[in-house]
Every structure is written in C-alpha cells, then in structure tokens.
Structure 1
Amino acid sequence: MDVEDITYDEPAVSRRHNHYLLPQRSIRGLIIGKSDCGKTTLLNNLLLRDGWLDYDRLYVFGKSLHQPIYQLLHRALGKGFSKDDIRDLLSIKDRYPHSLVDVVQAMKPPPKPGGIEPFFFEEASDVPDPRELDPTRKNLMVFDDLMLSKQSKCEDYYVRGRHNNVDCFYLCQNYFKLPRQSIRENANFICLFEQDAKNRDHIRRDHCGDLTPAQFDALCDHCWAKPHGFMTIDLTSPKTAGKYRCNLDDFYRV
C-alpha cells in the first residue's frame, strides 16, 4: 500500500522563537534543586534575558509569590514594562532606598506597552485548565515548588499543554516526588542542580539510559563542581548534539 498524506494539523498557533538551545516547540521543563541553589535565578534569566523564552502571556502558580522578584514581575509586567525595562531597574536597584516594587508602582506606564500579560495564582482553583488558554498566544506557565496536594494542576499542563501552545517550567526540590506518568515521563528539558544519590539514580533510569551509572555520575560531578552549577538534559536533542550539557551551553560529549 502506498501511504497517502492523511493528516490534520491543529489551527494555526502563534509561532515561537525560543533560543536555539531550548526546545523549539512545547517546552516541558523541570528546574530541580534544593533551596538557595539558584533555581529562581536561572528562571529569571530565562524569563528576562533577550532571546531566550518567547512569550506574551506569563502564568505563575506557587506558594512563594511573596518573593520580591515575583512581586516585581507582577507589578512591572502588569503596568506594561518590558523585559528590558525590568532588567534596567534591577541593574540600578542599589541606588534606590525603597523597594523596586514601590518604585514601579509610582512610575507612569510606558508609552508603548511591553506586550506581556501576567497572571499570578496562589490558589489551585484559580489556575485555568490548559485547554482554556488561547492557542494563538505564546503562553508560558511557571509552577514554583507546589505542595503535593496541588500537583494535579501541574500534571494537566505536562500532559495537555502542548496542544494549546503552552511552554511550562516546574521549579521543585525533589525529582522523586514528582508524579511519574504525568510529569516525569512528559518532561523534555531538565535543569538539574546538585541532587542526592536517590534522586540522581531515578533521573538516570528515567532519562539517561544511554549512559552507564559511572558516566552519569562523572557528568553530575563535573557540572556541579562549581557553585550554582547545574546539568541540562535536553530530551529533544540527540546525545551527540547537546542532550547533555553543563549549564545551558557547555555541551558534554560522553
């Protein structure tokens, strides 16, 4: 039988232009590490530095929204400031005796809005179903260190989010406690800060079957040798072309 082109594409979605070192369609990312390891700093770099994550709607759900950086993002993006505007504010933060959040609140909105709409949620009941999001927008969902009882909302995005043009990142401390069939098996981009032996072994078994235990341990030790160092596992790339990296851009060839 000659195979015919019997296909059906979903309605047109807004084309993303993420950095070439990131998955180009449907990022289902995990940023894993203990408190104060650098997870939030890495996320902020991806969110605010030019050319990395391409999004025009930012959704954040977590228990840590009181953190100053989240308050600043919420106020500044909501007032129409751009990524560049926010980075400029952060670069001169030491000059201000007051909170940058208060400074933003007192400032006039820019004449030309930055084009990113923020939505922040503390209650699971307020988080929209991924099927409710507009697929013609560049949706980015961030889950920050959720309690186990609230992970069902996160699971929906890792299973169904790709159909509604959603990139997502989950910041968590423990890989082993993540739901396996929904989040762990659907993740395609993992940034891994230093982990204990148990979590390290589960990650290797789930995603790194092309490495021996000794090779994987050597990779971990190499990437974590420097403070705040992390390992990237890009499951959309082959082993010979960037699947394993130290930080985001140092390809590790085994």
Structure 2
Amino acid sequence: MDNYEIKVFHLDKNKDNKSKSIFPTPMRCLIVGSSGSGKTNLLFNIIINYWVPFDNLYVFTKNINQPIYEKMEEVFAGVDGVEVYITNEDITPVDDCRPNSLVVFDDYILEKQERMKDYFIRSRSKNISCIYIGQNYSLLDLKT
C-alpha cells in the first residue's frame, strides 16, 4: 500500500500567517510560462499557503471561469478577515485598492498596460503585492 501525504491548509486568519511568507513584502512578481506550464497552479499555491500575506485578494483575469479561481473563491468563502474579488471587469485603480492586498493580473498581455504599470510602480506604499501572469515575456512592457 502506498503512503500519501495529505496537505492541511490552516486558513484561520487568527493564526500568524505572516511568518509563512517566503517573499519579501510587498512584492512585485512575474510568472511567465507557456500555456499549460502550471502558472495558475503556482499562483494557487502562493495564495493558499499565504506565501504572500494579504487581507484582500484581487484577481483580474480575462478567463473568470477557470476551475482554479472557482476553488479559490470556495476556499476563502468561510475565512474571516479575507476579502476576495475575482473579476474580468475593469482593473480597479491603485488608489481605490485596499491596503494589505495581493493583486493578480492574469493574461492581460494584449491589453493596455497603464493600470498594471501604476500598480507595479505605486503599490508598495500601500503594502500591496502584485503578481502578473503571462505567456510571453517578450511582450511585457519592460519599463514596469
């Protein structure tokens, strides 16, 4: 009989999740890879394991119906102190984003980059971490 390890997720916001952070925060991060390379799964692990601490999660995605985003909403539905916003609507301006947030931009590579640039430049002072997911590094505006 094979032994399998079961991962237990402690999503109680009363626990000290900041100690789990493996990235300096606030942070700006790019996750780049081809289709099917596991970019969204990596993001899921970063979020579920609180590798980047947050009180508010904003996910701006062109494809809102991905099962992994539905699972994120389900997992955080019962967690006190965490607000989750997953949308394919316009990106919230950085000035309207709540402090202590994690903001994800998924597959916006062909869109105007002004709002995302604004986050990458101005979010640190509001303690907002940003993750940009894309399939092609060469199409990114490298000034961000």
TM-score, normalising length: structure 1: 0.47
- % same residue: 36
Tell me, in whole angstroms, the C-alpha distance in 2 between the residues paired with 1:33 and 1:151.
19
Tell me, in whole angstroms, the C-alpha distance in 2 between the residues paired with 1:145 and 1:18.
30
Question: Which residue of structure 2 lines up, in the alignment, with residue 106 of structure 1?
Answer: none
Contact conserved, 2:107 with 2:134, CA < 8 A, in 1? yes
Question: Which residue of structure 1 lines up, in the alignment, with residue 94 of structure 2?
Answer: 130
Tell me, in whole angstroms, the C-alpha distance in 1 between the residues paired with 2:21 and 2:101.
18
AA partner of residue 60 (structure 1): V
For residues 76 and 48 of structure 1, do their structure 2 counterparts lie closer, same or farther at Cα, with a shift above 3 Å needed?
Answer: closer
Tell me, in whole angstroms, the C-alpha distance in 1 between the residues paired with 2:135 and 2:86.
21
For residues 74 and 20 of structure 1, do their structure 2 counterparts lie closer, same or farther at Cα, with a shift above 3 Å needed?
Answer: closer
Structure number with greater CO (CA < 8 Å, separation at least 6) is 2
Instruction: Give how far 1:129 is off.
Output: 1.1
Instruction: Give how far 1:71 is off.
Output: 1.6
Tell me, in whole angstroms, the C-alpha distance in 2 between the residues paired with 1:63 and 1:133.
19
Tell me, in whole angstroms, the C-alpha distance in 2 between the residues paired with 1:19 and 1:73.
19
Tell me, in whole angstroms, the C-alpha distance in 2 between the residues paired with 1:174 and 1:119.
25
Question: Which residue of structure 2 lines up, in the alignment, with residue 148 of structure 1?
Answer: 110
Instruction: Give how far 1:121 is off.
Output: 2.0
Contact conserved, 2:26 with 2:128, CA < 8 A, in 1? yes
Tell me, in whole angstroms, the C-alpha distance in 2 between the residues paired with 1:72 and 1:131.
28
Instruction: Give how far 1:73 is off.
Output: 1.7
AA partner of residue 119 (structure 1): Y
For residues 123 and 141 of structure 1, do their structure 2 counterparts lie closer, same or farther at Cα, with a shift above 3 Å needed?
Answer: same
RMSD between aligned alpha carbons? 1.9
Tell me, in whole angstroms, the C-alpha distance in 1 between the residues paired with 2:75 and 2:121.
31
Question: Which residue of structure 2 lines up, in the alignment, with residue 118 of structure 1?
Answer: 84
Give unmatched runs, 5+ long, in structure 2: 1-16
For residues 118 and 141 of structure 1, do their structure 2 counterparts lie closer, same or farther at Cα, with a shift above 3 Å needed?
Answer: same
Contact conserved, 1:58 with 1:117, CA < 8 A, in 2? yes
Contact conserved, 1:18 with 1:53, CA < 8 A, in 2? no
Question: Which residue of structure 1 lines up, in the alignment, with residue 8 of structure 2?
Answer: none
Question: Which residue of structure 2 lines up, in the alignment, with residue 54 of structure 1?
Answer: 53
Tell me, in whole angstroms, the C-alpha distance in 1 between the residues paired with 2:137 and 2:41.
19
Question: Which residue of structure 2 lines up, in the alignment, with residue 31 of structure 1?
Answer: 31
Matches for 1:68-107 after TM superposition, within 5 Å: 68-77=67-76, 79=77, 81-82=78-79
TM-score, normalising length: structure 2: 0.79
Tell me, in whole angstroms, the C-alpha distance in 1 between the residues paired with 2:31 and 2:63.
15
Question: Which residue of structure 2 lines up, in the alignment, with residue 17 of structure 1?
Answer: 18
Tell me, in whole angstroms, the C-alpha distance in 1 between the residues paired with 2:31 and 2:19.
17
Tell me, in whole angstroms, the C-alpha distance in 2 between the residues paired with 1:150 and 1:18.
36
Question: Which residue of structure 1 lines up, in the alignment, with residue 9 of structure 2?
Answer: none
Tell me, in whole angstroms, the C-alpha distance in 1 between the residues paired with 2:30 and 2:47.
14
Higher helix content, 1 or 2: 1
Deviation string for 1:87-109 (max 9, x for gaps)? Answer: xxxxxxxxxxxxxxxxxxxxxxx
For residues 21 and 73 of structure 1, do their structure 2 counterparts lie closer, same or farther at Cα, with a shift above 3 Å needed?
Answer: closer
Instruction: Give how far 1:74 is off.
Output: 2.4
Question: SS at the partner of 1:65?
Answer: coil
Matches for 1:39-50 after TM superposition, within 5 Å: 39-49=39-49
Give unmatched runs, 5+ long, in structure 1: 1-15, 83-112, 183-254
